[in-house]
Amino acid sequence: MALLFCGMLLLLGGSDATSIADMDYGGVPLWINRLLGEPSVLSLQGRIDPGWFRANNPQACPKQCDCPIHWPTSVYCDHKGLEHIPDELPDRTEYLFLQGNNISSLPSSVLANITGLRWLILDNNQLQSDKLEQASLQNQTKLHYLFANQNHLTSVPSALPDGLRQLRLAHNNITSIGKGALQNLHNLTLLLLQGNRLQTIAQGDLKGLVSLNLLDLSGNRFSTVPRHLPPSVQQLYLSNNSLSGLDEDSFDGFLNLKYLRLSHCGLQSRGIHLHAFNHTSLVELDLSYNKLTTIPRVPTSLQYLYLEANEIQEFNVTSFCREVGLLSYSRMKILRLDGNKMSYNQLPPDWVYCLRVLQSIYV
């Protein structure tokens, strides 16, 4: 038994876990806290013979699922071709894996006996908004992670429990957030909504998300930078929206904004206000794959600027430094200008005085 146990841990530590996680979980890897006893793999598929669990684990386990003995509160029902969430889920369940099935509904009764649920993973199913019963999650006060990427949802589920920390809803068909759906989730730090059909965010939609750190709105139908976003956001991803331009106040109020991604947005230089990026908190700015002809003016605090695959023809030091002096210089470390209409010999002789801590430049 002891020998088998070691062998199993080795198998479970397989190195392919992270890449699978990246694809399945909306592109942001899952942070696992082993001290809480969180399971370190998201699927047991291909790792060990399920018969082994059944033979060695005396605890109750639904017949469609696998229950590993060393994570006694985890129930793995992923990739089993299920059309419904199994009944008789054990009351002890804290980590429930249901990804890669054909589940379309979430009835309120199915989780009713479970009081300690922490993760509910439902990626890659057929969940429909009208089959998600309002009451199904509201009593799950311990629920931290709700993942439902790649489903058929048309709106953000309502009556979410207050303690939620991550909500991943990438690649659904969501057209609106819905009044009150996300209000008062004071502990939510990560919200993934990329690959949906959002056009606007209404005032109040994201109100009360006072801890939100990462907001991914890439690949939606925004034509301008949405207003009414939580000011706590540090990472804002808006790539793959057709944006008409950026105004002086597009990013006003984001005092903590550090990482801003705006690639593949069809942006043109004349649509970008001179002071659009006047944010001293910015560390990284991605403007690759747009239609820029000049380098926009960026704050001297910026460290990473991605401008590859634009139509830039000239390099003007004033984009980076309004003045050059002992303490006034750009903190830029990496500057990408490859795939533009300029060459290295077009850099003016004085650029090194401004970009004096640069580590890499690609022209």
Residues at the interface with ligand NAG (CB under 6 A): 81, 87-88, 101-102, 108-110, 112-113, 135, 139, 152, 162-163, 173, 187, 218-219, 239-240, 264, 275, 278, 280, 316, 318
CB of 305 vs ligand NAG, minimal distance in Å: 17
In the complex with ligand NAG, the residue whose CB is nearer, 43 or 240, is 240
Q: How far is the CB of 107 from ligand NAG (least distance, A)?
A: 9
The CB-nearest residue to ligand NAG is 163
CA-to-CA distance for 143 and 163, rounded, in angstroms? Answer: 6
Mode of pairing for the β-strands spanning 166-168 and 190-192: parallel
Q: How far is the CB of 343 from ligand NAG (least distance, A)?
A: 16
Nearer to ligand NAG, 13 or 314 (CB): 314
CA gap 334, 189 in Å, rounded: 28
Nearer of residues 109 and 328 to ligand NAG, judged by Cβ = 109
> How many residues would you count in the chain?
363
Nearer to ligand NAG, 263 or 303 (CB): 263
CB of 281 to ligand NAG, least distance (A): 9
User: Tokens for 229?
Assistant: 């976003």
**Between residues 8 and 96, which has the closer beta carbon with respect to ligand NAG?**
96
Of 108 and 269, CB closest to ligand NAG: 108
Return d(Cα 214, Cα 108) in angstroms, integer: 29
- d(CA 137, CA 160) in angstroms, rounded, equals 6
Q: Are 104 and 131 in contact (CB under 8 A)?
A: yes
Query: Which of 135, 357 has the CB closer to ligand NAG?
Result: 135
DSSP SS3 for 346: helix
> CB of residue 75 vs ligand NAG: minimum separation in angstroms?
12
Cα 337 → chain centroid: 26
Measured CA to CA, the distance from residue 21 to residue 30 in angstroms comes to: 7
What span, in angstroms and rounded, lies between the C-alpha atoms of 35 and 39?
A: 10
Q: What minimum distance in Å lies between the beta carbon of 187 and ligand NAG?
A: 4
- Distances, alpha carbon 164 to alpha carbons 50, 144, 192, 259, in Å: 31, 4, 13, 23
Kindly state the greatest CA–CA separation across the chain. Answer: 75
56 vs 319, which CB is nearer to ligand NAG?
319
Min dist CB 108 to ligand NAG, Å, is: 4
The distance from CA 121 to its chain's CA centroid, rounded to whole angstroms, is 15
Of 56 and 104, which CB lies nearer to ligand NAG in the complex structure?
104
Q: Cα(241)–Cα(169) distance, rounded to whole angstroms? A: 17
Report the nearest approach of ligand NAG to the CB of residue 71 (Å). Answer: 21
Decide if 101 contacts 81 (C-beta within 8 A).
yes
Smallest gap from Cβ 185 to ligand NAG, in A, equals: 8
Contacts 24+ apart (CB under 8 A), 106-115: 106/131, 106/132, 106/133, 106/136, 106/137, 107/133, 107/136, 108/133, 108/134, 108/135, 108/136, 110/85, 110/136, 111/136, 111/137, 111/140, 112/139, 113/89, 114/89, 114/140, 115/91, 115/139, 115/142
Q: Which C-beta is closer to ligand NAG: that of 13 or that of 346?
A: 346
